[in-house]
Chain A
C-alpha cells in the first residue's frame, strides 16, 4: 500500500540524530567554519555514542552505510522492508540539518567505512570495521572519469606496492585508514582497478597538504602521496582477479550505496535553510498559504513554495532509492536520480534562501550563507550533477558508456 510517510518505527532514531545535530553540531557550526583545519574535538564524545548505538543495532545516525544482510524483516512492515538503508538516510538527513561538514568529520563514519561495509569479507571486516576509513579515488589528472586511475598496485611477494597521488580525500589526515583505488595492471583498463586499505603510519604513505575550500570547511580535504607504499595482500577489498567481463562493477557498487547518502545530506541541509528562511520571512510579514494559488501570494511566498516543492521531490526520491536497497531491488537509476535532483536543488534552495533573507542571509550573523557555501560540494562529490545525468540518461535510453559518452 502506498504510504510515503517517515516510518514511525524510526522515530527514536531520528530524534536522537536530531538532538545530536541540534545540541552538538549547531553550536559549533560557525566555530569550525572559521577555524578551518582544526580538529573538532567535540565530535569524539558523539562518535563514541554513535558506536554504541550502531553496536546495539539501532544504527543510522552516521554515514557508515549498510553491510548487506541485516535489513529488517518484511513481515513487520506489511510486505515491504524498511531497513538499515532507509534508517541511515533518515539519520543522515537529521545530522546534516545540523552540519554537513561536521558529519563528514565524524570519526568512523567516513565513506571508506561505507566501502568496507559494502565489499569487505568477514576477516577484513573484523580488522577494519572499527577503524575510521577515508576514501581516496580522485587524482590530479582525473575527476569524474574514475576508470582513469593512475595509481598503481604492483604485487611483490605477500604485498602490493602502491605508487601515486590522490586528491580530495575527505578526512584523509584524521582517519585511521584510507581505502585507495589503484590499478593492478594499467593495460587492462577498468577491470584492473581494485580498492586497498592503507593504514595510517604505513611507510611511504604521506599527507602532502590540506585544501582551503569554499564550504564544508570543518571537514578536512587532504592530498595524499603513496611512494613505494607496501600493504599486505589481505588489504585488497574484494577479489584480486582481473575479470574483464565484470569490469568495474565491484568498485562502482560502492556508489549505489553512497549516492543516496549524499542526496540525504543535501535534503537535510536544504531543510535547515528552508526552516530559517520561513522564520525570517514570517518575521517580515510573509507567510505561505498552501491553499491559495502561488501567483496570488507575495512573490517571496511563491518562491518559497517552489523551493519547498523541489525539496519534497528530492527527499522522496532519496527515500525511495534507500527503500529499494532495503528491498533488494537494483537502485542504480533511482540513486542517481536522487543525487541529481538533491544536488541541484540544494544549491538552488540555499542560494535563493540567502537572497530572500537579504543581508540577514548574506552576513555571517546567520548560518544561511555558510549553508549556501556548504551546499555546492553536494552537487559535485560522489559523482557530479553531469555524471548523474549521464547515468540516468544511459539507463533510460538503453545506451552503453561507449555510445553515450
Chain B
C-alpha cells in the first residue's frame, strides 16, 4: 500500500516514522554491540542461532517433496461412500460406545505422545521423528475411509472426526494439526473422490507408510474468503494449469499430495488433487505465531500442469463449500480440545498457587474466570457437536457451522488469553504450556482448510 499524506503519522508523533535521525542511528549501533556481548553472557547464543536458522529456512525455497508414484489399485465400479448414520431423533449428548472407545484411545495417545513432545516440537517447528507414523498406526487416516477401500469406516461420522480432533488437541494443537493433516486429504477423497481417484490415492492412506499430505485452502491475504480463491486454474488441452500461492499449509515441505482449491475459469471455485513432485511447485516454510509443530509452509504453484483427472468433486462449487464448512468444524474441535487443556491446567494451578495466605482460587476474580472458561467451553463444545451431527445426518449445516465457528473463535481466544492471565508472569514463560495455547488459539478464527471432519 502506498502511503497517503498524513497516514504515516496516524499512530505516532509527527515526523517520527520512516526516517532514522542521529539518535536513532546511535541507538541502533549500541543495540548491535550490547546485544552481541550479552548473548554469550546470558547464554542466548543458541536460541538466536535458531531464529537465524528459521529465517534462513523461510527464505529457502525447495521443490515439493519427492513423492511416491501413486498408482491406481483395483478400481470399484463406483466411488465408495460411507452411509449416513440414522438417529432416533432423540436429543442426546452421549457419543456412541464406539465413539467413546475411539475418543478414549486418542486421549491416551495425546497424553502420552503429544503433550510431552509439544514444547520441543513448537521450538523445532517440526513434529518429533516417527510421530506421524505412530498417529497413522492409531488409524486417524483410516476411520474416515470406507471399508471397501481398506479403511475402518462404516458410517459417515463428522462427529467421530470432531471427537478425534478434540482429544488430539487436548494433547497439543500444533501436533494435532500435524497428525491430522493427512486425514484431511483421505477424508476429502472418501467424500468427493471418484472411483479412479479413490483407487489411485486411498490405498496409500490405509497402508503401512501413510504419506504426509495436506488440504491447502488458505491464501496469504487479509479478509480471505475461501470460496473465492485467488489461485487460478486454467483449462488446457489435456487438463488444467494452476497458478497462485497457498499459505499455512501443514507439513508443507514433506507433503506428497495436496488438495488445493482454485478458481476454475468459467465455472467457479473447485478442488484439485496435486502431487507434490509436479513441475512448478515450490514450497517454503512459513513458521507462524503458533501451530509451529505442524511445520506450516507456503506452497507456490507456478504453471503447475495437471491432468483432467485432477479435478476433485466436479466443477460445481458444492464440494468446496462443504469442504470449507467441514474444515471449520475441525478447527472448532481443535479449539474445544485446546480450551479443555487450558481449563485442565489452570484448575490445579489456581488451587495450589497462594497469595495473601490462601489459594488464589479463593478469590472471586480468579474463580469467576475459571467458571466462565468452563461455561463457554461447554457452549463451544455443544455447538460444534450439533453442527457436526447435522452434517453427518445430511441436514443443512451452514448456519450451525458458522455459529460454532464464531463461538470457538471468540471464546476460544478469550480462554487462551485468560489461561495466561491466571498464571500471571509464570504464564508468560515457556515453563508452562499456556503461552503456547494462547498462540495456537489465535489461529482458530483465521484458519481455513488443513483439517477436515
Contacts and interface: CB of A to CB of B under 8 A. Distances in A.
Contacts of B88: 1, 3, 77-78
A292 B89 contact: no
Contacts of B49: none
Interface size range of chain A in the complex: 35 or more
A192 B57 CA distance: 72
Contacts of B362: 399, 403-405
A24 interface: no
A290 B329 CA distance: 13
A389 interface: yes
Interface centre among B343, B403, B404, B407 (most CB of A within 10 A): B403
A340 B388 CA distance: 25
Contacts of A80: 90-92, 94
Interface stretch (A26-34, A234-242, A302-310): A302-310
B361 interface: yes
A316 interface: yes
B367 interface: yes
Contacts of B375: 317, 337, 340-341, 392
A309 B371 contact: no
B140 interface: no
Contacts, number: 180
Nearest to B448: A293
Interface stretch (B30-38, B220-228, B253-261): B220-228
A57 interface: no
A344 to B, nearest CB: 9
Interface size range of chain B in the complex: 35 or more
Interface stretch (A4-12, A138-146, A170-178): A4-12
B150 interface: no
B361 to A, nearest CB: 5
Interface string A390-405: 1011101111000111
Given A290-B401, A320-B382, A4 B91 contact: yes
Given A319-B91, A397-B370, A306 B410 contact: yes
B62 interface: no
A280 interface: no
Given A4-B91, A4-B385, A312 B407 contact: yes
Contacts of B376: 313, 341
A313 B393 CA distance: 21
B406 A306 contact: yes
B235 interface: no
Contact of B91 (A5, A309, A386, A403): A5
Interface centre among B351, B380, B389, B402 (most CB of A within 10 A): B402
Interface string A33-59: 000000000000000000000000000
B390 interface: yes
A296 interface: yes
A294 interface: yes
B364 A4 contact: no
Nearest to A305: B406
Contacts of A323: 91-93
B371 A4 contact: no
A399 B367 contact: yes
B234 interface: no
A291 interface: yes
A227 B389 CA distance: 58
Interface in B399-438: 399-404, 406-407, 410
A2 interface: yes
Interface in A304-342: 305-306, 308-310, 312-314, 316-317, 319-320, 323, 334, 337, 340-341
Contacts of A197: none
B386 A316 contact: yes
A86 B93 CA distance: 13
Given A7-B91, A320-B93, A290 B398 contact: yes
Contacts of A293: 223-225
B382 A317 contact: yes
A296 B375 CA distance: 29
A86 to B, nearest CB: 6
B347 A313 contact: no
A79 B382 CA distance: 19
Query: Binding site of A, secondary structure by majority: helix, strand, loop or mixed?
Result: helix
B159 A2 contact: yes
B148 interface: no
Interface string B90-103: 11111110010000
A82 interface: yes
Nearest to B98: A1
Contacts of A86: 91
Contacts of B156: none
B382 A9 contact: no
A365 interface: no
Contacts of A9: 89
A97 B88 CA distance: 28
Nearest to A334: B378
Contacts of B343: 396
Interface in A369-400: 386, 388-390, 392-394, 396-399
B379 interface: yes
A319 to B, nearest CB: 6
A309 B405 CA distance: 8
Interface of A: 1-9, 76-80, 82, 86, 290-296, 305-306, 308-310, 312-314, 316-317, 319-320, 323, 334, 337, 340-341, 386, 388-390, 392-394, 396-399, 403-405
Pick the 5 closest A-B CB pairs, nearest first: A313-B379, A77-B90, A78-B88, A316-B382, A309-B406
Interface of B: 85, 87-96, 99, 159, 223-225, 227, 321, 324-325, 343, 347, 350-351, 359, 361-362, 364, 367-368, 370-372, 374-376, 378-380, 382-383, 385-386, 388-390, 393, 395, 398-404, 406-407, 410
Given A3-B393, A386-B368, A393-B364, 4 more contacts: A1-B87, A2-B92, A6-B91, A314-B379
5 contacts: A9-B89, A80-B94, A290-B399, A340-B371, A390-B371
